[in-house]
Amino acid sequence: MHPLIAILFPLSQSSWRANRSTLSGYFLAGRSIAWWPIGASLFASSEGSGLFIGLAGTGAAGGIAVAGFEWNATYVLLALAWVFVPVYVSSGILTMPEYLQKRFGGERIRMYLSSLSLLLSVFTKISTDLYSGALFVQVCLGWNLYLSTVLMLLVTAIYTIAGGLTAVIYTDALQTLIMVIGAVILTATAFHEIGGHPNLEEAYLSAVPSKTIPNTTCHLPRPDAMHLFRDPLSGDLPWTGMTFGLSVLATWYWCTDQVIVQRSLSAKSLNHAKGGSILASYLKMLPMVLIVMPGMISRILYPDDVGCVDPGECARICGSEVGCSNIAYPKLVMELMPSGLRGLMIAVMMAALMSSLTSVFNSSSALFTMDIWRKVRRGATEKELLAVGRYGGAPRATGGCLDV
């Protein structure tokens, strides 16, 4: 048997095992998911193609401090499982706006939060991930940007509609494996090119483009590039904000966002929810080495492209006058990897994109169906609600595509 089939077959069996003919079965996978798919899905849902592009690009521009956004999640994820999920489970909720209604009373707050979440998912999550993924495909394969966007939407929509949250979670688990393996190979290759980790700091601080802007220092790498905790007054990412301010934002995202909470609510028990959070916490430590540092290496190897500062030169290289650091990861893939492994890295980016998109689609469908449609159609049957949940994601996907 082909090894890929050996992996996919049990996953597909698990995908169909849950009862998808009920709302709980479709949106919460029948509360039957084990800890390891939950942990992998929590990680994959947050590691979209936009994060690969953004983290590597910010690493190329400013060093390792941006990894604080990832590491901050390691302890907030534990708060999710030990503090928040027990409350959500005891409340018997399916969506976060539903919890607010039960906690504070009234339906307006539920409708308001659901509507706001749906708008944000279209204009921030879906459109950003689609653009980043399509940009990567365009750079690597030369495909039309909008054609790439439409194809990715079609593929993700098919298995999200067919399998519900169960299919999304188990697909995320497989895609997490693909992402980690591909990123490890690229990282090892990149470090080999610069002679290993000990040379990273010195080489990065010397990565200056040949064409600079006179009487400015914008072409120089930050001297604190290898500092995770930066000066609270002069640092671009001050340690005070990254430690205290970011924790507030991280608590909102990891403990109250529908995309994340929905995965923990699908656990077969609280212990499995806790195990999933622990696994995700460990996985969130990886982007520092697997994404941020390769972005820095990309600037070292290609300072004239990734580190360009002259507006005209940047426009020629990447079409943006404000800089080309966002091409750091695709540039590394295209220049360092041989043809076969280049295909693997394209699969990595597609896995990252599809994981985040399917997560948003399924969670948005839950919000629209349970918090808005059921309010509009008070007499709707469960069969009708399931149909709305399955096919109601099409308008949001179209909106995200148009926003690109």
pLDDT digits (tens, 9 = 90+) for 295-319: 999 999 999 999 999 999 999 988 8
13-27, 232-246, 317-331: range with lowest mean pLDDT: 13-27
Cα gap 379→336, rounded to integer Å:
59
Cα gap 76→348, rounded to integer Å:
26
Mean pLDDT, the chain, integer: 83
Q: Would 303 be classed as within a structural domain?
A: yes
- Measuring CA to CA, which residue among 70, 101, 36 is closest to residue 275? 36
Cα gap 301→294, rounded to integer Å:
10
Q: Kindly tell me the burial class for residue 280, based on how many C-beta atoms sit within 10 Å of its own C-beta (0-12, 13-18, 19 or more).
A: buried
Q: What is the DSSP letter of 126?
A: I
3-class DSSP state for residue 267?
A: strand
Q: Would 97 be classed as within a structural domain?
A: yes
- 1 compared with 28, residue with greater pLDDT: 28
How many domains would you assign to the chain? 1
105-114, 224-233, 274-283: range with lowest mean pLDDT: 105-114
Q: Would 397 be classed as within a structural domain?
A: no
Residue 182's CATH number: 1.20.1730.10
The H or E element that residue 253 is part of is helix 246-256
Six-digit token pair at 223? Answer: 């001297």
Q: What is the dihedral of CA 106, 362, 246, 404, to 10 degrees?
A: -110
pLDDT of 9 = 42
Residue 376's identity, in one-letter code, is: V
What pTM was estimated for this model as a whole? 0.85
Phi, psi (degrees; rounded to nearest 5) at 33:
-90, 140
- How many CB atoms neighbour CB 228 within 10 A? 16
Q: Would 396 be classed as within a structural domain?
A: no
HSE of 64 in the Cβ direction (CA atoms, 13 Å)?
18
Q: Would 360 be classed as within a structural domain?
A: yes
Question: Residue 6 pLDDT more than 60?
Answer: no
pLDDT digits (tens, 9 = 90+) for 154-201: 777 776 666 677 878 888 888 888 889 989 999 999 999 999 999 999
Question: Residue 2 pLDDT more than 80?
Answer: no
Q: Would 400 be classed as within a structural domain?
A: no
3-class DSSP state for residue 238?
A: strand
Tell me the pLDDT band of 239, cut-offs 50, 70 and 90. Answer: very high
Q: Would 302 be classed as within a structural domain?
A: yes
Provide the domain limits for residue 304.
1-390
Q: What is the DSSP string of 158-179?
A: HHHHHHHHHHHHHHHHHHHHHH
pLDDT digits (tens, 9 = 90+) for 116-159: 888 888 777 777 777 777 777 776 777 766 776 777 777 777 76
Q: Would 395 be classed as within a structural domain?
A: no
pLDDT of 159 = 64
